[in-house]
Structure 1
Amino acid sequence: MSRTEFPIKEASVHEIQIAFQQNKLTSRQLVEFYLTQIESLNPLLRSVIEVNPEALFLAEEADRERNTKSPISQSSLLHGIPILLKDNIATKGKLNTTAGSDALLGSVVARDAGVVAKLRKAGAIVLGKASMTEWAAFRIKLNSKLFTFGLKTYRNPYVKSADLGGSSTGSAVSVATNMVTLSLGTETFGSILCPSSFNSVVGIKPTVGLTSRGGVVPISPRQDTIGTVSDAVYVLDAIVGFDPYDAVATRKASKYIPHGGYVQFLKADGLRGKRLGMTSYSFFSFPNDSENSHAFELHFNTLRQRGATLLQGLDIPNFDAIINSVFNAQHIMLRAEFKLSLNAYLKELLTSPVRSLADAIAFNKKFSVLEKIDEYGQDLFLKAQKTNGIGELEKKALGNLTNASENGLQKLMKDNMLDALVTPLTYDFRHVSRVLAIGGFPGISVPAGYDHDGRPFGICFGGLKGFEPKLIEIAYSFEQATKIRKPPSFGS
């Protein structure tokens, strides 16, 4: 392996691009470094399912483009940068797309997912596939320790027994441990924001439709979104926009994309003049009697010192009743949407061992030992299979979700003229991800500290549809002022 004196660990995209320009680093050297990291760390952490056998070839091609000053190498911040993709994001070629399940091993997709096509166009190098909770944790009731095929279980790099947060765990862990520069994850509710928080990296969950879901193994077209967990804004700029394979949602959300992209909102003084709301409702309140309370008090002071106004103790009218209806209504809708959207996805595959949810259920029964059916079961699969489209029950549930969104977060933010809702993202406080999910709203998780066991926790800035510019300004300013993140030391 060729060596470089450039310190790759913890290097940002911007720093790597400068090293490229100054001939201190090549894309091949960068990829070789990450392959070595994966070889060393992945047996313990199991956050990478497979590596792209063409990665070094793609790196050398990027180096040639840079040497000849091709237009893409001169214009794209992602040119020559390796990225890992959650394994429910389709890739055409030698990599599998399995959603973490043996049932999809060997399936052949018709094309790259829309976001992957955009990344390739930007010159990024697809390094491989990140592990994920099987079927994005929708085979059984949420259990972030559920296995992914071939690897079976994976670990938190800070405290190996700690909660991993959600199904995009491999994407978050791979960035946290310097196995890759960038990664993509997906979120239906919590699967970007929580793994980012619990692995001490930045995660952006965009407005639903801002990034295409075309070519992504689905749960819910109403809630699914594609996001990123490191150098997040550069990736967001590359992957937003219209995709004919997710035409309705991406066309509708395109009105939110600002002229000039999102990089312009990386402002160190981005907190100045912002109105930040903090609700009194217990699910979203910051801990006031725990070991983390002191850290958050310091963060509140930082927010104020940077020019933000904090509105504390805000109430969401009738929110007790609203939140109680949300969880049941959400699962009613998700089960019906999952069956419809998964069946549609599977039918479009060029080759696949399974062609429907019913086939996947039968596969799990046939290979019950492999799929650990006796240990985990497949209760959500079975409940989803019993649904029959969007009927009266689902329409009533959707009405409850719409009411919860309109009379909950939307009303709170509009009545108080908020730029963002601020909430904790700790092991005990994570329900904000559900509230953002039901409205298709964006959120950004930023590292906020570590508890006495060394487990990371985050702070979340959430907003309404299209609030990404405000959230980026707020999150970036907070991150630059605090710089909480530290790499893991593989605690026990």
Structure 2
Amino acid sequence: MRSLLVALLCVLVTAPPALADPRPALDLDAATIPQLVRRMDAGTLTAVELTRAYLRRVDTVDRRVRSVLAVEPDALRQAAESDRRRARGQARGPMDGIPVLLKDNIDTRSGSTAGSRALRVPPRDDAELVRRLRAAGAVVLGKANLSEWANFRSTRSTSGWSGVGGQTNNPHVLDRNPCGSSSGSGAAVAASLAQVAVGTETDGSIVCPAGQNGVVGLKPTLGKVSGDGIVPISARQDTAGPMARHVVDAAILMSALEGRGADYARGLTADALRGARVGVWRKAGRNAEADRVVREAVDVLRRRGAVVVEVELPYQDRIDAVEFPALTTEFKHDLEGYLKTRPGAPKTLRELIAFNEADPVELSEFGQELFLEAEQAPPITDPTYREQRRTATELARRSIDEVLAAHRLDVIMAPTNGPAWKTDHANGDAYELGSSTPAAVSGYPNATVPAGFAGPLPIGVSFMAGHGADAEVLRFAASFERAAPARRAPTYLPTLP
């Protein structure tokens, strides 16, 4: 009996554990899409396992962040279909099996609300960009909260709040603001609640939440991504774009969003900065911490062999004077056109104003001053409006084109954001620093990448260039990311120490 017991103990000590998993652990925060694809191709990860991992984080972590409005009920079915395609050798590319969150002003058959209780009846079909994602094999994981109506309802709105989703928090410091209006997309990606997300921008609504949440964002050249099925502010400035923890993932998602065989990841290199001429638009004096991060970023550029040229972008005051009045006219025209496609929704801005006045939630935190102003705005045939739009677009393009040409620049770098302000429903946003307007109004590309911190709060830098230079700004963002990897996972501090 004793010898039998000894023999059994020897077997238990020397034999490998029967339930040991030989596969490497899955670090969602650090993993890139190419790494995940390699694991799925090798059979050490499935799309179902990846999707389940993100769903578990949504179920647990998002209780603090409040960035996800809804999870797609068929997300695991989508993932299982991806696994079957891969098993047959028919994977559709690098997005196949990758979970994506969509800002909830992007139509899916399951719904899109723009954060408003007025749009609770689902749209009739997916937006065109969603059809492209599905064609690429992506797993549509769910919908992200946003600043209601893409932050175009009130003059004192609070970014990240909507009547449907409540207040989204910045995952780095929970009482700090995630910036708008793609606040949920930025916060969710930072908190590793999806591999990537899609945001939208009219002026700053991709790059600001990316900067304040410490992730990568690309505001593409206007027209690169279809605007079909997206709740609008203005067709003259609106665009969807990718948000991610890594530049390579943003490039891969951008390729799927654009379609037409685009491959933005192919040109990403570590040495893009060597020999490049980079204009630095410092916007100094607005925030000391942002100034320090820009100085450190300039040091990185020089160490990597870039020629740094100090620049100022002209015409900004004149652009600011005409951009907003042009947007109010465009908002009324474009939103009413969209509302006519939505079942069960108000069909005019006047009806939407009346809905808000009668609803117990919609006006509980701030008003609808911009709705009231837009309802009285002149039509798009008005000569004054037409001159405002012409002036805004022309001067914004000249502000970039002329500086690029005068200094023979490859790209312009600027601070994306200052440290996130404390969320304050009584007074609204305390926005103090941004550089989004020239690229947003001109329709040119703008990529932001994490660059540093003010204590626990992220600060990004943006790379912008001329029309169609999306691949170039991504290439410079990737090279900077490689040279100075600043992003870190959030720690969910309840407040600043």
Equivalence map 1:283-322=2 (5 Å): 284-286=282-284, 290-312=288-310, 314-316=311-313, 319=314, 322=315
Paired residue type of 1:310: V
Task: Please give the per-residue CA displacement for 1:248-279, whole angstroms capped at 9, x wherever unaligned.
Answer: xxxxxxxxxxx862122111111122111123
Paired residue type of 1:461: F
**Cα distance in structure 2, aligned partners of 1:431 and 1:212:** 26
Equivalent residue, structure 2, for 1:159: 173
Measured after TM superposition, the shift of residue 142 of structure 1 is 6.0
Measured after TM superposition, the shift of residue 363 of structure 1 is 0.6
Paired residue type of 1:51: V
Measured after TM superposition, the shift of residue 154 of structure 1 is 1.4
Equivalence map 1:383-402=2 (5 Å): 383-390=373-380, 391-402=382-393
Please tell me whether residue 63 in structure 1 is matched to residue 83 in structure 2: yes
Secondary structure at the counterpart of residue 449 of structure 1: strand
Structure 1: where are the runs of 5+ without partners?
243-258
Structure 2: where are the runs of 5+ without partners?
1-20, 419-430
Task: Please give the per-residue CA displacement for 1:139-193, whole angstroms capped at 9, x wherever unaligned.
Answer: 1126343522333111100112223221101111111111110100000000000
**Contact 1:424 1:458 (8 Å CA) reproduced:** yes
Equivalent residue, structure 2, for 1:256: none
Please tell me whether residue 36 in structure 1 is matched to residue 39 in structure 2: no
**Contact 1:83 1:182 (8 Å CA) reproduced:** yes
**Aligned to 1:84, which of 80, 101, 106?**
101
**Aligned to 1:422, which of 413, 423, 426?**
413
Note closer, same or farther for the CA distance 1:31–1:411 as it changes in structure 2 (3 Å cut).
Answer: same
Equivalent residue, structure 2, for 1:15: 35
**Contact 1:132 1:169 (8 Å CA) reproduced:** yes
Equivalent residue, structure 1, for 2:265: 263
Note closer, same or farther for the CA distance 1:199–1:135 as it changes in structure 2 (3 Å cut).
Answer: same
Please tell me whether residue 96 in structure 1 is matched to residue 98 in structure 2: no
Note closer, same or farther for the CA distance 1:439–1:457 as it changes in structure 2 (3 Å cut).
Answer: same
**Cα distance in structure 2, aligned partners of 1:424 and 1:272:** 21
Measured after TM superposition, the shift of residue 325 of structure 1 is 2.7
Equivalent residue, structure 2, for 1:370: 361
**Aligned to 1:232, which of 250, 257, 260?**
250
Measured after TM superposition, the shift of residue 293 of structure 1 is 4.0
Measured after TM superposition, the shift of residue 310 of structure 1 is 0.6
Equivalent residue, structure 2, for 1:463: 465
Paired residue type of 2:188: S
Equivalence map 1:430-441=2 (5 Å): 430-441=433-444
**Cα distance in structure 1, aligned partners of 2:262 and 2:362:** 47
**Cα distance in structure 1, aligned partners of 2:432 and 2:298:** 17
Task: Please give the per-residue CA displacement for 1:425-460, whole angstroms capped at 9, x wherever unaligned.
Answer: 2227643211211101110000011102x1111011
Secondary structure at the counterpart of residue 309 of structure 2: strand
Measured after TM superposition, the shift of residue 297 of structure 1 is 2.7
Secondary structure at the counterpart of residue 270 of structure 2: coil
Note closer, same or farther for the CA distance 1:177–1:406 as it changes in structure 2 (3 Å cut).
Answer: closer
Measured after TM superposition, the shift of residue 50 of structure 1 is 0.2
Query: Which of 77-86 and 327-336 deviates more?
Result: 327-336
**Cα distance in structure 1, aligned partners of 2:433 and 2:468:** 22
Task: Please give the per-residue CA displacement for 1:108-145, whole angstroms capped at 9, x wherever unaligned.
Answer: 32321111111000000100000000000001126343
**Cα distance in structure 1, aligned partners of 2:72 and 2:132:** 18
Query: What is the TM-score of this pair, normalised by structure 1?
Result: 0.88
Please tell me whether residue 174 in structure 1 is matched to residue 191 in structure 2: no
Secondary structure at the counterpart of residue 484 of structure 1: coil
Backbone CA RMSD of aligned residues? 1.9
Aligned residues: 455
Equivalent residue, structure 2, for 1:361: 353
**Contact 2:394 2:442 (8 Å CA) reproduced:** no
Secondary structure at the counterpart of residue 396 of structure 1: helix
